Amino acid sequence: MSNEIWTEKYRPRRLSEVVGQEDIVARLRSYARQSTMPHLLFAGPAGVGKTACAGALVREMFPHDWEQNLLELNASDERGIEVVREDIKNFARTSPAGQAAFRTLFLDEADMLTPDAQAALRRTMEQYSANCRFILSVNYSGRILEPIQSRCALYRFRPLPPEAIQKRLRHIAQNEKTQLTDEGMRALLAVAQGDLRRAINALQSAAALDHPIDARAVFETNAEPRPEEVQGMLQAALHGDFLRAREALSGLLDTGICGTDLLRHIHRQALQLEVDEPRRAQLIDRIGETDYRITEGADERLQLEALLAALVVHPAPGPDKSAKKSL
Protein backbone atom coordinates (compact mmCIF):
# COMPACT_ATOMS: atom_id res chain seq x y z
CA MET A 1 0.00 0.00 0.00
CA SER A 2 1.24 3.51 -0.82
CA ASN A 3 2.72 5.65 1.96
CA GLU A 4 1.07 8.74 0.51
CA ILE A 5 -2.13 10.30 1.78
CA TRP A 6 -4.66 9.12 -0.75
CA THR A 7 -6.71 12.33 -0.74
CA GLU A 8 -3.61 14.14 -2.02
CA LYS A 9 -2.38 11.36 -4.28
CA TYR A 10 -5.72 11.13 -6.08
CA ARG A 11 -6.60 14.82 -6.05
CA PRO A 12 -7.90 15.76 -9.54
CA ARG A 13 -5.27 17.54 -11.63
CA ARG A 14 -7.64 18.29 -14.51
CA LEU A 15 -11.29 19.27 -14.63
CA SER A 16 -12.10 16.01 -16.45
CA GLU A 17 -11.07 14.10 -13.31
CA VAL A 18 -13.59 15.86 -11.04
CA VAL A 19 -16.57 13.57 -10.36
CA GLY A 20 -20.16 14.36 -9.50
CA GLN A 21 -20.12 18.05 -10.50
CA GLU A 22 -20.50 17.77 -14.26
CA ASP A 23 -22.60 20.91 -14.74
CA ILE A 24 -20.09 23.08 -12.86
CA VAL A 25 -17.12 21.49 -14.64
CA ALA A 26 -18.68 22.26 -18.01
CA ARG A 27 -18.96 25.95 -17.12
CA LEU A 28 -15.42 26.10 -15.74
CA ARG A 29 -14.04 24.53 -18.91
CA SER A 30 -15.29 27.53 -20.88
CA TYR A 31 -13.05 29.75 -18.72
CA ALA A 32 -10.10 27.44 -19.34
CA ARG A 33 -10.63 27.59 -23.12
CA GLN A 34 -10.77 31.39 -23.06
CA SER A 35 -7.85 31.70 -20.58
CA THR A 36 -9.81 34.20 -18.52
CA MET A 37 -12.37 34.22 -15.74
CA PRO A 38 -14.16 36.54 -13.29
CA HIS A 39 -13.81 36.33 -9.53
CA LEU A 40 -15.44 33.06 -8.42
CA LEU A 41 -17.33 32.04 -5.29
CA PHE A 42 -17.55 28.29 -4.65
CA ALA A 43 -20.18 27.40 -2.03
CA GLY A 44 -21.04 23.97 -0.68
CA PRO A 45 -20.26 21.34 1.96
CA ALA A 46 -16.82 19.87 2.56
CA GLY A 47 -15.31 17.21 0.33
CA VAL A 48 -17.37 17.85 -2.80
CA GLY A 49 -14.68 19.23 -5.14
CA LYS A 50 -14.36 22.97 -4.49
CA THR A 51 -10.59 22.96 -3.92
CA ALA A 52 -10.06 20.37 -6.66
CA CYS A 53 -11.95 22.49 -9.20
CA ALA A 54 -9.98 25.62 -8.30
CA GLY A 55 -6.61 23.91 -8.71
CA ALA A 56 -7.59 22.06 -11.89
CA LEU A 57 -8.99 25.23 -13.46
CA VAL A 58 -5.76 27.17 -12.94
CA ARG A 59 -3.66 24.24 -14.21
CA GLU A 60 -5.68 24.02 -17.42
CA MET A 61 -5.72 27.78 -17.90
CA PHE A 62 -1.95 28.24 -17.52
CA PRO A 63 -0.38 24.76 -17.78
CA HIS A 64 3.23 26.00 -17.77
CA ASP A 65 3.03 28.86 -15.28
CA TRP A 66 0.30 27.89 -12.82
CA GLU A 67 2.60 27.16 -9.84
CA GLN A 68 4.13 30.65 -9.83
CA ASN A 69 0.74 32.31 -10.19
CA LEU A 70 -1.42 30.42 -7.71
CA LEU A 71 -1.56 31.11 -3.97
CA GLU A 72 -3.72 28.98 -1.67
CA LEU A 73 -4.64 30.36 1.75
CA ASN A 74 -6.97 29.08 4.45
CA ALA A 75 -8.95 31.82 6.12
CA SER A 76 -9.58 29.70 9.22
CA ASP A 77 -5.84 29.93 10.03
CA GLU A 78 -5.58 33.70 9.67
CA ARG A 79 -9.00 35.31 9.72
CA GLY A 80 -8.14 38.89 10.70
CA ILE A 81 -7.62 42.01 8.66
CA GLU A 82 -3.81 41.72 8.74
CA VAL A 83 -3.75 38.69 6.45
CA VAL A 84 -5.69 40.72 3.86
CA ARG A 85 -3.50 43.79 4.20
CA GLU A 86 -0.25 41.83 4.01
CA ASP A 87 -0.30 38.36 2.39
CA ILE A 88 -3.28 38.79 0.08
CA LYS A 89 -2.56 42.37 -1.00
CA ASN A 90 1.15 41.68 -1.64
CA PHE A 91 0.32 38.69 -3.82
CA ALA A 92 -2.51 40.46 -5.70
CA ARG A 93 -0.47 43.51 -6.70
CA THR A 94 2.52 41.50 -8.01
CA SER A 95 2.67 41.03 -11.77
CA PRO A 96 1.98 37.51 -13.07
CA ALA A 97 4.97 35.33 -13.92
CA GLY A 98 5.64 33.77 -17.31
CA GLN A 99 2.91 33.88 -19.96
CA ALA A 100 -0.02 33.94 -17.53
CA ALA A 101 -2.48 36.78 -18.02
CA PHE A 102 -3.17 37.14 -14.28
CA ARG A 103 -2.46 35.59 -10.91
CA THR A 104 -5.03 33.52 -8.98
CA LEU A 105 -5.60 33.57 -5.24
CA PHE A 106 -7.62 30.70 -3.80
CA LEU A 107 -9.00 31.56 -0.36
CA ASP A 108 -10.44 28.49 1.36
CA GLU A 109 -13.04 28.84 4.12
CA ALA A 110 -13.44 32.52 3.28
CA ASP A 111 -16.64 32.63 5.34
CA MET A 112 -14.39 32.47 8.43
CA LEU A 113 -13.01 35.96 7.72
CA THR A 114 -14.12 38.69 10.10
CA PRO A 115 -16.38 41.47 8.71
CA ASP A 116 -13.46 43.93 8.79
CA ALA A 117 -11.26 41.49 6.89
CA GLN A 118 -14.00 40.95 4.30
CA ALA A 119 -14.34 44.71 3.84
CA ALA A 120 -10.60 44.97 3.23
CA LEU A 121 -10.77 42.00 0.86
CA ARG A 122 -13.50 43.68 -1.15
CA ARG A 123 -11.32 46.74 -1.64
CA THR A 124 -8.35 44.58 -2.69
CA MET A 125 -10.54 42.75 -5.23
CA GLU A 126 -11.56 46.12 -6.69
CA GLN A 127 -8.05 47.57 -6.92
CA TYR A 128 -6.23 44.59 -8.41
CA SER A 129 -8.91 42.86 -10.51
CA ALA A 130 -6.87 43.35 -13.71
CA ASN A 131 -3.84 41.70 -12.12
CA CYS A 132 -5.35 39.00 -9.91
CA ARG A 133 -8.47 36.83 -9.85
CA PHE A 134 -9.94 35.55 -6.59
CA ILE A 135 -11.57 32.17 -6.00
CA LEU A 136 -13.35 32.11 -2.64
CA SER A 137 -14.41 28.77 -1.19
CA VAL A 138 -17.10 28.79 1.53
CA ASN A 139 -19.43 26.42 3.32
CA TYR A 140 -22.05 29.13 3.86
CA SER A 141 -22.29 31.81 1.18
CA GLY A 142 -24.61 33.89 3.38
CA ARG A 143 -21.68 34.73 5.64
CA ILE A 144 -19.93 36.58 2.81
CA LEU A 145 -20.64 40.31 2.50
CA GLU A 146 -23.07 41.19 -0.26
CA PRO A 147 -20.57 43.51 -2.06
CA ILE A 148 -18.16 40.57 -2.39
CA GLN A 149 -20.88 38.20 -3.58
CA SER A 150 -21.94 40.68 -6.27
CA ARG A 151 -18.37 40.74 -7.64
CA CYS A 152 -18.19 36.96 -8.02
CA ALA A 153 -19.74 34.33 -10.23
CA LEU A 154 -21.43 31.99 -7.75
CA TYR A 155 -21.14 28.19 -8.09
CA ARG A 156 -23.08 26.00 -5.67
CA PHE A 157 -21.57 22.54 -5.17
CA ARG A 158 -23.93 19.77 -4.08
CA PRO A 159 -23.09 16.65 -2.04
CA LEU A 160 -21.75 13.97 -4.36
CA PRO A 161 -24.16 11.22 -5.43
CA PRO A 162 -23.31 7.67 -4.30
CA GLU A 163 -22.58 6.60 -7.89
CA ALA A 164 -19.83 9.20 -8.27
CA ILE A 165 -18.22 8.30 -4.94
CA GLN A 166 -18.44 4.58 -5.71
CA LYS A 167 -16.76 5.05 -9.10
CA ARG A 168 -13.85 6.95 -7.58
CA LEU A 169 -13.40 4.51 -4.69
CA ARG A 170 -13.35 1.54 -7.08
CA HIS A 171 -10.65 3.29 -9.11
CA ILE A 172 -8.51 3.94 -6.02
CA ALA A 173 -8.97 0.42 -4.63
CA GLN A 174 -7.93 -1.06 -7.96
CA ASN A 175 -4.83 1.14 -8.21
CA GLU A 176 -3.82 0.32 -4.64
CA LYS A 177 -4.49 -3.41 -5.17
CA THR A 178 -6.95 -3.40 -2.27
CA GLN A 179 -9.89 -5.82 -2.18
CA LEU A 180 -13.07 -3.88 -1.48
CA THR A 181 -16.23 -5.93 -0.91
CA ASP A 182 -19.75 -4.77 -1.80
CA GLU A 183 -20.57 -4.68 1.90
CA GLY A 184 -17.52 -2.52 2.50
CA MET A 185 -18.54 -0.17 -0.29
CA ARG A 186 -22.00 0.31 1.24
CA ALA A 187 -20.35 1.08 4.59
CA LEU A 188 -18.04 3.65 2.97
CA LEU A 189 -21.02 5.35 1.32
CA ALA A 190 -22.81 5.44 4.67
CA VAL A 191 -19.76 7.03 6.31
CA ALA A 192 -19.19 9.52 3.48
CA GLN A 193 -22.68 11.05 3.21
CA GLY A 194 -21.70 12.85 -0.01
CA ASP A 195 -18.17 13.79 1.13
CA LEU A 196 -15.60 12.15 -1.16
CA ARG A 197 -12.64 13.23 0.94
CA ARG A 198 -14.11 11.51 3.98
CA ALA A 199 -14.80 8.41 1.89
CA ILE A 200 -11.19 8.23 0.63
CA ASN A 201 -9.78 8.71 4.13
CA ALA A 202 -12.10 5.97 5.43
CA LEU A 203 -10.96 3.66 2.62
CA GLN A 204 -7.29 4.24 3.42
CA SER A 205 -7.86 3.67 7.14
CA ALA A 206 -9.69 0.40 6.48
CA ALA A 207 -7.03 -0.69 3.98
CA ALA A 208 -4.42 -0.56 6.76
CA LEU A 209 -5.91 -3.83 8.03
CA ASP A 210 -4.43 -6.82 6.28
CA HIS A 211 -7.66 -8.36 4.95
CA PRO A 212 -10.46 -7.49 2.48
CA ILE A 213 -12.29 -4.29 3.31
CA ASP A 214 -15.75 -5.13 4.64
CA ALA A 215 -18.29 -3.20 6.71
CA ARG A 216 -16.69 -4.23 10.01
CA ALA A 217 -13.28 -2.91 8.96
CA VAL A 218 -14.78 0.41 7.78
CA PHE A 219 -16.79 1.10 10.94
CA GLU A 220 -14.06 -0.05 13.33
CA THR A 221 -11.19 1.90 11.79
CA ASN A 222 -13.22 5.08 11.39
CA ALA A 223 -14.91 5.09 14.83
CA GLU A 224 -18.34 5.15 13.22
CA PRO A 225 -21.35 3.37 14.74
CA ARG A 226 -23.12 0.78 12.66
CA PRO A 227 -26.49 2.08 11.40
CA GLU A 228 -28.24 -1.01 12.77
CA GLU A 229 -26.87 -0.28 16.26
CA VAL A 230 -28.33 3.23 16.27
CA GLN A 231 -31.56 1.94 14.75
CA GLY A 232 -31.81 -0.77 17.43
CA MET A 233 -31.33 1.79 20.20
CA LEU A 234 -34.13 3.98 18.86
CA GLN A 235 -36.43 0.99 18.35
CA ALA A 236 -35.88 -0.12 21.94
CA ALA A 237 -36.82 3.32 23.22
CA LEU A 238 -39.86 3.58 20.95
CA HIS A 239 -41.11 0.26 22.33
CA GLY A 240 -40.76 1.42 25.92
CA ASP A 241 -37.57 -0.45 26.90
CA PHE A 242 -35.50 2.36 28.41
CA LEU A 243 -32.89 0.15 30.08
CA ARG A 244 -32.04 -1.63 26.83
CA ALA A 245 -31.93 1.67 24.94
CA ARG A 246 -29.70 3.21 27.64
CA GLU A 247 -27.38 0.20 27.54
CA ALA A 248 -27.07 0.54 23.76
CA LEU A 249 -26.33 4.27 24.18
CA SER A 250 -23.59 3.53 26.73
CA GLY A 251 -22.04 1.01 24.36
CA LEU A 252 -21.92 3.58 21.58
CA LEU A 253 -20.49 6.36 23.77
CA ASP A 254 -17.88 3.99 25.19
CA THR A 255 -16.40 3.62 21.71
CA GLY A 256 -15.27 7.26 21.97
CA ILE A 257 -17.80 8.89 19.66
CA CYS A 258 -18.81 12.36 20.85
CA GLY A 259 -22.40 13.29 21.56
CA THR A 260 -22.84 15.65 18.61
CA ASP A 261 -21.57 13.04 16.16
CA LEU A 262 -23.83 10.39 17.64
CA LEU A 263 -26.76 12.79 17.45
CA ARG A 264 -26.04 13.22 13.74
CA HIS A 265 -26.38 9.45 13.28
CA ILE A 266 -29.56 9.42 15.39
CA HIS A 267 -31.04 12.12 13.16
CA ARG A 268 -30.15 10.12 10.05
CA GLN A 269 -31.79 6.95 11.40
CA ALA A 270 -34.83 8.86 12.69
CA LEU A 271 -35.71 9.68 9.09
CA GLN A 272 -35.90 5.95 8.36
CA LEU A 273 -38.02 4.87 11.33
CA GLU A 274 -41.39 3.33 10.54
CA VAL A 275 -43.51 5.86 12.43
CA ASP A 276 -46.24 8.25 11.35
CA GLU A 277 -45.12 11.66 10.07
CA PRO A 278 -46.41 13.83 12.98
CA ARG A 279 -44.50 11.58 15.37
CA ARG A 280 -41.37 11.75 13.21
CA ALA A 281 -41.62 15.55 13.14
CA GLN A 282 -41.83 15.66 16.93
CA LEU A 283 -38.82 13.36 17.19
CA ILE A 284 -36.78 15.60 14.88
CA ASP A 285 -37.82 18.61 16.96
CA ARG A 286 -36.59 16.86 20.11
CA ILE A 287 -33.29 15.95 18.40
CA GLY A 288 -32.81 19.60 17.48
CA GLU A 289 -33.43 20.67 21.07
CA THR A 290 -30.91 18.10 22.33
CA ASP A 291 -28.32 19.30 19.83
CA TYR A 292 -28.81 22.89 21.01
CA ARG A 293 -28.39 21.92 24.67
CA ILE A 294 -25.20 19.95 23.97
CA THR A 295 -23.81 22.83 21.89
CA GLU A 296 -24.49 25.20 24.80
CA GLY A 297 -22.40 23.00 27.09
CA ALA A 298 -24.86 20.58 28.70
CA ASP A 299 -23.71 17.07 29.62
CA GLU A 300 -23.78 14.90 26.48
CA ARG A 301 -24.71 11.60 28.10
CA LEU A 302 -27.45 13.15 30.22
CA GLN A 303 -29.03 14.92 27.25
CA LEU A 304 -28.93 11.82 25.05
CA GLU A 305 -30.51 9.75 27.81
CA ALA A 306 -33.18 12.42 28.15
CA LEU A 307 -33.85 12.09 24.42
CA LEU A 308 -34.33 8.33 24.79
CA ALA A 309 -36.51 8.87 27.86
CA ALA A 310 -38.78 11.15 25.82
CA LEU A 311 -39.30 8.29 23.37
CA VAL A 312 -39.98 5.82 26.17
CA VAL A 313 -42.58 7.99 27.90
CA HIS A 314 -44.74 7.67 24.78
CA PRO A 315 -43.85 4.22 23.38
CA ALA A 316 -44.47 3.19 19.80
CA PRO A 317 -48.11 2.36 19.02
CA GLY A 318 -49.10 -1.29 18.71
CA PRO A 319 -51.22 -2.93 16.04
CA ASP A 320 -54.23 -0.88 17.08
CA LYS A 321 -53.78 2.27 14.99
CA SER A 322 -56.35 4.15 17.04
CA ALA A 323 -54.10 3.81 20.06
CA LYS A 324 -51.40 6.10 18.65
CA LYS A 325 -50.04 8.69 21.04
CA SER A 326 -47.93 11.73 20.40
CA LEU A 327 -44.29 11.92 21.47
| Backbone φ, ψ for residue 135 (5° rounding) | -120, 110
Using DSSP, state whether 82 is helix, strand or coil: helix
| pLDDT score of 1 | 55
| pLDDT score of 327 | 41
List, for residues 144-197, the tens digit of each pLDDT value.
999 999 999 999 999 999 999 999 999 999 999 999 999 999 999 988 989 999
Secondary structure percentages of the chain, helix, strand, coil, to 5: 55, 10, 35
| pLDDT score of 320 | 43
**Mean of pLDDT over the chain:** 88
Q: Which domains does the chain possess?
A: 21-156 (3.40.50.300), 162-221 (1.10.8.60), 227-323 (1.20.272.10)
Model pTM?
A: 0.81
List, for residues 6-23, the tens digit of each pLDDT value.
988 999 899 999 999 999
Q: How far is CA 238 from CA 285, 299, 300, 302, 315, in A?
A: 16, 23, 20, 18, 5
Given a cut of 80, is residue 321 above it in pLDDT?
Answer: no
Amino acid at 112: M
Q: Are 97 and 68 a contacting pair, CB within 8 Å?
A: yes
Beta bridge partners of 156: 43
- Which strands, in side-by-side order, build the sheet including 70-74? 70-74, 103-108, 132-138, 39-43, 152-156
